[in-house]
Homo-oligomer: A and B are copies of this chain.
Amino acid sequence: MNVDLENFSPGSFDRGASAVKEALWLVVSLLLFQWCPLKLSALKCAVLRAFGARVGRGVVIKPQVKITFPWKLTLGDHVWLGEECWLLNLAPITLGNHVCISQRAFLCTGNHDFTKPAFDLIVKPIQVATGAWIGAGAFVGPGVSVGSHAVLTAGSVATAELPPDRIYRGHPAVFVKQRVIASA
């Protein structure tokens, strides 16, 4: 059998918002998130909440952050989103408290079933637990859970669960060492 993208199957995927809401978000996202060179984190958080996101206190959102569907986003307290990071949340993305997503990191909830001619869309949520750090340019794939205080180093690719309190590196990301946090 061959792939036939003309008869692509979106599976059970639900965009989660009306076309009007989505179009409005596209415009706001472009002006405030993509083009504006200022952080304006408080304003961005208020806008995300207005579009249905759950956003904690003290969240920092740098310029050029891309969020696909705010209505499928949950950010804990004191989350940092770095420049050019992309939360491609066709399925929910949930970041715990004190999570840092560094520059150009890419969290991608979308996949395709490459064993099917209709190349069925598969979306799976991503969770990043408290205190974890996704390094610059790193990639986190659909369905991945990143454990509390885990670290995915710069440029690494995670497509399976990352247990807590450990450092992971490479493609695919593998365990490097424990993360020990000293007293202040």
Q: Which residues from chain B contact A119 at a C-beta distance below 8 Å? A: 100, 133
Given A1-B184, A5-B100: A139 in contact with B137 (beta carbons within 8 A): yes
A141 in the interface (beta carbon within 8 A): yes
Query: Contacting A182 at CB < 8 Å: which of B37, B116, B154?
Result: B116
A89 in the interface (beta carbon within 8 A): no
Please provide the chain A residues from 67 to 115 with a CB less than 8 Å away from any CB of chain B in the complex: 77-80, 84, 86, 88, 98, 100, 103-104, 106, 108, 112, 114-115
Q: Is the interface of A mostly helix, strand, loop or mixed?
A: loop
Given A137-B106, A156-B171: A2 in contact with B184 (beta carbons within 8 A): no
Given A2-B98, A77-B6: A103 in contact with B115 (beta carbons within 8 A): no
Please provide the chain A residues from 164 to 184 with a CB less than 8 Å away from any CB of chain B in the complex: 167, 169-172, 179-184
Is B171's CB under 8 angstroms from A172's CB?
no
Interface size on A, residues (CB 8 A): 60
Q: How far is the CA of A2 from the CA of B98 in the complex (A)?
A: 9
Is B159's CB under 8 angstroms from A171's CB?
no
Please provide the chain A residues from 31 to 76 with a CB less than 8 Å away from any CB of chain B in the complex: 35, 37-38, 58
Is A181's CB under 8 angstroms from B2's CB?
yes
Q: Which residues from chain B contact A3 at a C-beta distance below 8 Å? A: 98, 130-131, 133, 149, 181
Is B103's CB under 8 angstroms from A104's CB?
no
Is B151's CB under 8 angstroms from A114's CB?
yes
- CB A98 to nearest CB in B, in angstroms, measures 4
Q: List 16 A-B contacts (CB under 8 A).
A: A2-B130, A3-B131, A4-B78, A5-B98, A26-B38, A86-B103, A103-B106, A106-B136, A108-B136, A114-B133, A115-B182, A117-B182, A117-B183, A137-B139, A154-B157, A170-B171
